[in-house]
């Protein structure tokens, strides 16, 4: 076994061993990691910036010690003095691998940058924001009636707007006097009225009539991605939506890996808190620039997130969420100053509101989905599934709503897949396999044409075909099943068994070749047995969670299914059903809600009454804990089959008859990739 240092790149998850002294950029290129470089490794362009992480990473099976990379050199020092490097950053062309190391490739260093597909859904929202603008005429100071400027502003608000009492941050006082005088004693006040605080507070003031608008950020803080919607607090219009990868991925792709990192590394939780706060602050600057507004006009933020992200955002060690009874530090909603969350780029007196959590593994993101989709007001039994690295599932109608979370892992995001990548231009996002010829055709992100259509090659000339993202691998596995290339157990047959040379041997199993561009120096993209297993595990966890809620309600079927999140917007209901991700219902009863968690965040941002409503609603939701429920494991095992080992799928069978093939029949030396039966003792 090689003793060379192991390097693990995130967010791709690609890893390999390299001789000590190998530059990080060289290792990245050999592994096919998406790390940019323009200057040829001379330390001039800065495109290859990376962030090494230190400590114990149980998920990756590696401990990273100081000295894992070479010392800061003169080239990096020169670049830093002239253009600046963010704290912790290194130049990949200069830093050399000396020991086991985990290296994060930030979004700006990637050639094919992640597309965070969480755009804002069109939604009519009743506008009643917590922060409103008030124009007031203030009495001038009078030596015979000595009062402070703030007190006279308060008096004007009471007389002209029936505001009984106000509060103001001390930082406002330095600004108040010159603004009053510049405005000729007429000013516009941004007044924030929280349903959690008795006294409204002034967040900002402008001379005269302010017509520059007032904005808030609705932020969906996910395990993998962070999406934000810049919203006009007067009209509810979304001015811009943007997103970035969650930089905590380098500490672990799933939630429990991050909890483990916090447990095993001193200050590990603080390190993850700092990383995500800096990312959110940078995202606020980016989205304000995109909308061409002054970041100081952003006076409110609303956050939705799962419990682990919730704790890490607040600077709370998530260790208790990693073990029964999965106790939250608090499940209540939180209202606080945005600057206490490290948001320095927006208005210095901006306020933040974090939706309540439902339970230890069902967080504010699930509460936001409940606010958006309102299962408790549904006349029929609705199953709402928000799929991500951790799936949030709601089942309910007017009589009762239940909720659970299910650890699906990062496979749906394209991680843990041999040719997998995040959603970026050039990634295969949709695929179809002809059941007769077994030939594939596919579509990549950034191009509307299918691979067998005229003009496809020219259309993708700039991006190329780079890999397969989450939506692509989900469709690929379902298509393999429908084409008879893969059996119900998830086994791919040999070329002889399937009738296509695209099935090739890979060790004791087989894989299916989707695209081969190695002759032109491009990638070879295949679906392997390991890829299918990763998808089976993810979809089984999702289906088992849904079945567990159905058991609690005493039902074997639901009336409709709502797919939420990026998954819901980019995967067809038919492929989801063939895979067995969701219970069997008529396909016209499967709908997409888009980014429902983000929509819930926008509703809470734009309507103060919605905040009180969701706080009441979460108390009525029944939480089911999958981690300690023995039936979860039973459902999980049965759901490994595609679509399912025991549950009938009559609605699916009416429109998609699945081939009855089996490639697990035992055999001799060349058994076509089929598993050999163990001899009985």
Residue pair 526/514 in contact by the 8 Å Cβ criterion: yes
Of the candidates 553, 574, 600, which has an alpha carbon nearest to the alpha carbon of residue 655?
574
In the structure, what pLDDT confidence band is assigned to residue 118 with cuts at 50, 70 and 90? low
What are the pLDDT digits (tens) for 529-550? Answer: 999 999 999 999 999 999 999 9
Q: What's the CATH code, domain 6-109?
A: 3.10.20.30
Region of poorest pLDDT, from 145-149, 199-203, 443-447 = 145-149
In the structure, what pLDDT confidence band is assigned to residue 40 with cuts at 50, 70 and 90? low
| Sign for the pseudo-dihedral over CA of 139, 142, 147, 150 | positive
β-sheet bridge partners, residue 220: 227, 304
pLDDT for res 629 = 86
In the structure, what pLDDT confidence band is assigned to residue 664 with cuts at 50, 70 and 90? confident
Of the candidates 373, 391, 331, 492, which has an alpha carbon nearest to the alpha carbon of residue 121?
373
DSSP 677: P
| Cα separation, 601 vs 32, whole angstroms | 37
Q: What is the CA radius of gyration of the chain?
A: 27
Neighbours of 144 (CB within 10 A): 4
| H or E element at residue 217 | strand 215-221
Mention the CATH class of domain 218-365: alpha beta
pLDDT for res 109 = 81
| Cα separation, 58 vs 62, whole angstroms | 6
Region of poorest pLDDT, from 238-247, 376-385, 412-421 = 412-421
Burial degree of 610 (CB within 10 A; 0-12, 13-18, 19+): buried
| Cα separation, 496 vs 379, whole angstroms | 52
| Token pair belonging to 144 | 């015979």
Region of poorest pLDDT, from 45-49, 377-381, 398-402, 655-659 = 45-49
Which segments of the chain belong to CATH 3.10.20.880? 131-207
Per DSSP, helices labelled H in 32-163 are 74-82, 149-161
What are the pLDDT digits (tens) for 449-502? Answer: 999 999 999 999 888 898 898 889 999 999 999 999 999 999 999 999 999 999
Which segments of the chain belong to CATH 3.10.20.30? 6-109
In the structure, what pLDDT confidence band is assigned to residue 38 with cuts at 50, 70 and 90? low
| Token pair belonging to 119 | 């755009």
DSSP 502: T
Largest CA distance in the chain: 106
What are the pLDDT digits (tens) for 594-643? Answer: 889 999 999 999 999 999 999 999 999 999 888 788 899 999 999 999 99
Domain formed by 131-207, architecture: Roll (3.10)
Residue pair 183/191 in contact by the 8 Å Cβ criterion: no
Neighbours of 281 (CB within 10 A): 18
Of the candidates 331, 337, 364, 366, which has an alpha carbon nearest to the alpha carbon of residue 350?
337
Flag whether pLDDT at 117 surpasses 70. Answer: no
Flag whether pLDDT at 423 surpasses 80. Answer: no
Mean pLDDT on 109-129:
67
DSSP 492: B
Flag whether pLDDT at 568 surpasses 80. Answer: no
What are the pLDDT digits (tens) for 63-116? Answer: 999 999 999 999 988 888 888 888 889 999 999 999 999 999 887 787 665 555
| Cα separation, 111 vs 507, whole angstroms | 32
Of the candidates 62, 42, 145, 156, which has an alpha carbon nearest to the alpha carbon of residue 103?
62
| Token pair belonging to 398 | 């007017």
| Token pair belonging to 218 | 């609705």
């Amino acid at each position: 076994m090689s003793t060379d240092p192991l390097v693990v790149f995130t967010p791709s998850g690609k890893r390999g061993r390299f001789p000590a002294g190998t530059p990080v950029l060289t290792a990245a290129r050999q592994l096919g990691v998406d790390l940019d470089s323009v200057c040829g490794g001379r330390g001039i362009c800065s495109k290859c910036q990376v962030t090494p992480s230190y400590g114990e990473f149980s998920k990756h099976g590696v401990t990273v010690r100081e000295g894992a990379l070479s010392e800061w050199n003169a080239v990096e020092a020169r670049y830093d003095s002239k253009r600046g490097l963010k704290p912790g950053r290194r130049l990949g062309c200069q830093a050399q691998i000396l020991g086991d190391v985990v290296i994060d490739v930030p979004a700006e260093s990637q050639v094919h940058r992640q597309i965070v597909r969480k755009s804002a859904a069109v939604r009519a929202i009743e506008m009643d924001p917590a922060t409103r603008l008030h124009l007031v005429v203030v009495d001038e100071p009078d030596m015979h009636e000595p009062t402070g400027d703030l007190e006279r502003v308060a008096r004007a608000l009471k007389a002209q707007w029936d505001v009984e009492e106000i509060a103001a941050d001390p930082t406002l006082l330095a600004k108040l006097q010159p603004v009053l005088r510049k405005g000729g004693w007429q000013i516009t006040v941004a007044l924030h009225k929280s349903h959690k605080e008795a006294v409204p507070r002034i967040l900002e003031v402008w001379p005269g009539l302010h017509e520059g608008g007032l904005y808030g950020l609705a932020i969906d803080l996910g395990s993998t991605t962070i999406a934000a919607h810049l919203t006009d607090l007067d009209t509810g219009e979304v001015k811009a939506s943007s997103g970035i990868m969650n930089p905590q991925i380098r500490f672990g792709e799933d939630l429990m890996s991050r909890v483990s990192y916090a447990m095993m590394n001193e200050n590990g939780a603080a390190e993850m808190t700092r990383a995500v706060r800096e990312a959110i602050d940078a995202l606020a600057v980016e989205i304000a620039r995109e909308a061409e507004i002054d970041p100081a006009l952003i006076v409110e933020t609303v956050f939705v997130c799962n419990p682990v992200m919730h704790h890490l955002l607040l600077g709370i060690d998530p260790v208790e969420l990693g073990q029964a009874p999965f106790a939250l530090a608090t499940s209540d909603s939180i209202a606080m100053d945005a600057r206490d969350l490290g948001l320095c780029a927006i208005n210095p007196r901006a306020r933040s509101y974090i939706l309540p959590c439902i339970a230890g593994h069902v967080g504010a993101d699930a509460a936001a989905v409940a606010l958006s989709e309102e299962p408790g007001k549904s006349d029929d039994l609705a199953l709402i599934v928000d799929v991500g690295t951790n799936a949030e599932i709601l089942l309910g109608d007017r009589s009762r709503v239940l909720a659970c979370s299910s650890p699906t892992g990062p496979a749906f995001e394209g991680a843990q897949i041999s040719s997998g990548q995040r959603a970026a231009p050039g990634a295969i996002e949709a695929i179809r396999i002809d059941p007769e010829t077994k030939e594939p055709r596919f579509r990549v992100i950034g191009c509307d044409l299918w691979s067998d259509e005229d003009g496809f090659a020219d259309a993708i000339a700039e991006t190329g075909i780079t890999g397969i993202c989450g939506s692509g691998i989900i469709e690929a596995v379902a298509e393999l099943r429908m084409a008879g290339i893969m059996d119900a157990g998830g086994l791919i047959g040999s070329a002889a068994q399937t009738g296509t040379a695209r099935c090739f041997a890979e060790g004791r199993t087989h894989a299916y070749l989707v695209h081969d561009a190695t002759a032109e120096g491009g990638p070879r993209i295949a679906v392997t047995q390991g890829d299918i297993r990763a998808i089976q595990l993810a979809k089984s966890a999702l289906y088992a969670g849904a079945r567990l809620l159905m058991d609690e309600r005493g039902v074997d079927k639901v009336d409709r299914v709502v797919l939420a999140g990026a998954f819901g917007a980019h995967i067809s209901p038919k492929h989801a059903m063939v895979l067995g991700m969701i219970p069997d219902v008529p396909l016209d009863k499967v709908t997409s809600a888009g980014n429902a968690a983000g929509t819930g965040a926008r509703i809470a941002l734009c309507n103060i009454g919605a905040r009180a409503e969701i706080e009441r609603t979460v108390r009525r939701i029944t939480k089911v804990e999958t981690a300690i429920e023995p039936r979860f494991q039973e459902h999980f095992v049965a759901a490994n089959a595609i679509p399912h080992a025991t549950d009938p799928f009559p609605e699916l069978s009416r429109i998609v008859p699945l081939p009855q093939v089996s490639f697990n029949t035992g055999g001799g030396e060349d058994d076509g990739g089929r598993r050999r039966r163990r001899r009985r003792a």
